[in-house]
Amino acid sequence: MNISFEGQTVIVTGAAQGFGRAIALAFAREGAQVYACDVLQQGLQETAALSEAAGTPLHVRLTDITDRAAVNALVAEAAQQTGRIDVLVNNAGGVLGQVGRPLEEVSASDWQSIFSVNVEGAFSFAQACAPHMKRQKSGRIINISSGAGLGVSLTGIQAYASAKAAQIGLTRQLAHELGEWGITVNNVAPGFVRSNPTTERQWQSYGEEGQQRLVNGIALKRLGSPDDIAGAVLFFASAQAGWITGQVLSVDGGK
């Protein structure tokens, strides 16, 4: 399968590390004009340096996805500079340093902050990109959720499981709303991957026995990598996935 994104404009959120970095670098390798954003400036610069070293430079922008004005500004800039928006990857999210606690100990602000970055950020970017995609009568939106959105959070974080489930609901709803303009909206639900400092701490917290138990519960008997997630995203963004929308693809090694 020959997948190329020459001449396409791609926006990737949460690109300073992990999945987002792998996704941004993969699109750049395939010829896309990539606008990679995050709130972590050092990580963004590392992503830019890796892409530059590979001979496939990309654009990095410091952007808070919970700030709608900043989201609109980034999308407007990308559209003005390239004339189009072809692919949006809503990868930014996570647990924001929170840990599992009993329900009665979760504050309203902790609950809302996870929803803001995992759901509202994806909504804001989709809302900003939709007019450009409608005008082109084509586009791809790929949301990155989690196995937690299909089941339960391994760490017991209620807001995270709920927010990722909500993001999956948003995916299906937007697929039906935007389909008549040739815009597909799909979702990738990764399993556990050691992709950033948060997941590394989680992995270490399991201890040797817990780590082995987690791996044994995977059909392929190994953990995946950020590149495994990037591969699924590139497929959904490709011409080969033109009649696939509203779907959730679990990329988890088999459960």
Contact 35, 58 (CB under 8 A): yes
What is the distance between the alpha carbons of residues 52 and 61, in angstroms, rounded to a whole number? 15
Tokens 């980034």 locate to: 74
CA 58 to chain centre: 17
Tokens 């709608």 locate to: 68
Phi-psi region of 32 (alpha: psi -120 to 50; beta: other; left: phi over 0): beta
From residue 111, alpha-carbon distances to 95, 163, 171 in Å are: 10, 9, 21
What is the distance between the alpha carbons of residues 190 and 187, in angstroms, rounded to a whole number? 10
Query: Is 160 one of the annotated active-site residues of the chain?
Result: yes
Phi-psi region of 18 (alpha: psi -120 to 50; beta: other; left: phi over 0): left
φ and ψ of 100, to 5 deg: -65, 135
Find residue 36's DSSP bridge partners. 12, 60
Contact 138, 113 (CB under 8 A): no
Choosing from 5, 35, 123, 160, the catalytic residue is 160
Find residue 37's DSSP bridge partners. 13, 61
What is the distance between the alpha carbons of residues 40 and 42, in angstroms, rounded to a whole number? 6
Instruction: Give the residue numbers marked as catalytic.
Output: 160
